[in-house]
Amino acid sequence: MRKNICIPIFACAFLALSMLACNFPFVASPTPFVFPTPDLTMTALFNPTVTSPVIIFPTQTPPPAWSSPTATPPGFQPSPIPTNTPLPPTATSVPTTTPTPTISYAGPGMRPKFSMVGVFFDSPPRIDASLEEWQLDRYRMEAVVYGKENHKGSNDLSGRAMVGWDEANLYLGIRVLDQKYVQNAGGTNLYKGDSLDILLDTDVAGDFYLGALNKDDFQLGISPGSPSPNQEPEAYLWFPKEIERSPEGIKIAARAREDGYVVEAAIPWSLFDIKPFDGQHFGFVFSISDNDNPNQNIQESMVSYVPIRTLSDPTTWGDLTLTKSN
């Protein structure tokens, strides 16, 4: 049986012509056959071709073309440059320093204990160490306030004191019992021999509770004389330290006795910058220092009218009241 070879030959020719037709512009391409789109409502869960979301990390993102320092992004509107507007103050900028409160030491104008009275002199007494004009109260000076181990009784050291005043001076008269007079020191060291010691607070009300010396507190020493009473007597002002000196204008007279010595003194109020008046009060202490060793300048003991006397603490001082009533 003869095989029919025409059909295969015709089919090959048709295929060749179809391939050539695809390469010529005047030959229209065949319209592709479009398959229907599947329903993704269910198949999306199982469709292996669905692309998962891509996570892009900042470090892997290529910079945009306009991120160059010299480039400007499309539609870019530069923000205004802020001015140097100061920031509002924070809590830490509020001053934290608390003002120191003012401390007041003010109080009564009179010390409550150990009061002496200064009586007004219509006529100033003669400064001659006689004390005949002194018809005043005498205050006993027997309390040992220093060197108790060296004090041998009232005959070794004690005294009787009187105080007067007028507009010009503060007057002191004292009779001292001292079995052995020794004074070989002078100036700032005169307390290291037989001598007198006066403490005066000129503003008690202003610093009543202040237990320290200040500019209105005075310490004055008086030497009856060296080497014996009435031979070169002198005075020395220790406090206030700003005006420490051997003051001028103080009149001193002294006289030796068998059992001690007598001293009379006139001290100008101007030394204390004071204008006195009737009824005025001062912090006040009157004391006596003693040395019984002629070979050494030393303060061996001290007796006072004020038994609690402490030099550096005016709150321990007594009171002096000026009066015109005898």
Mean predicted lDDT score pLDDT of the chain? 80
C-beta atoms surrounding 210 within 10 Å: 20
| 317 vs 93, more confident | 317
Tell me the residue type at 139: Y
For 172-195, the pLDDT digits (tens) are 999 999 999 999 999 999 999 999
Nearest-10 Cα torsion for 266, 270, 274, 280: 10
In a 13 Å sphere around the CA of 170, the CA atoms on its Cβ side amount to 26
| 162 vs 39, more confident | 162
How far apart are alpha carbons 123 and 134 in whole angstroms? 12
For 261-286, the pLDDT digits (tens) are 999 999 999 999 999 999 999 999 99
pLDDT for res 320: 97
For 197-217, the pLDDT digits (tens) are 999 999 999 999 999 999 999
CATH number of 115-320: 2.60.40.1190
Residue 97 binned pLDDT confidence (cut-offs 50, 70, 90): low
| 289 vs 26, more confident | 289
For 27-49, the pLDDT digits (tens) are 444 444 444 444 433 333 334 44
Asked whether residue 158 carries a pLDDT value surpassing 90, the answer given is: yes
In a 13 Å sphere around the CA of 257, the CA atoms on its Cβ side amount to 14
**CA dist 308 to 109, 127, 151, 271, Å?**
19, 31, 17, 26
Residue 104 binned pLDDT confidence (cut-offs 50, 70, 90): confident
Query: Quick one: what percent of the chain has pLDDT higher than 70?
Result: 69
pTM higher than the cut 0.85: no
Residues in the chain: 326
Mean pLDDT of 94-103: 65
| 114 vs 39, more confident | 114
pLDDT for res 261: 98
Asked whether residue 240 carries a pLDDT value surpassing 80, the answer given is: yes
Mean pLDDT of 18-30: 43
How far apart are alpha carbons 91 and 70 in whole angstroms? 42
Asked whether residue 9 carries a pLDDT value surpassing 50, the answer given is: no
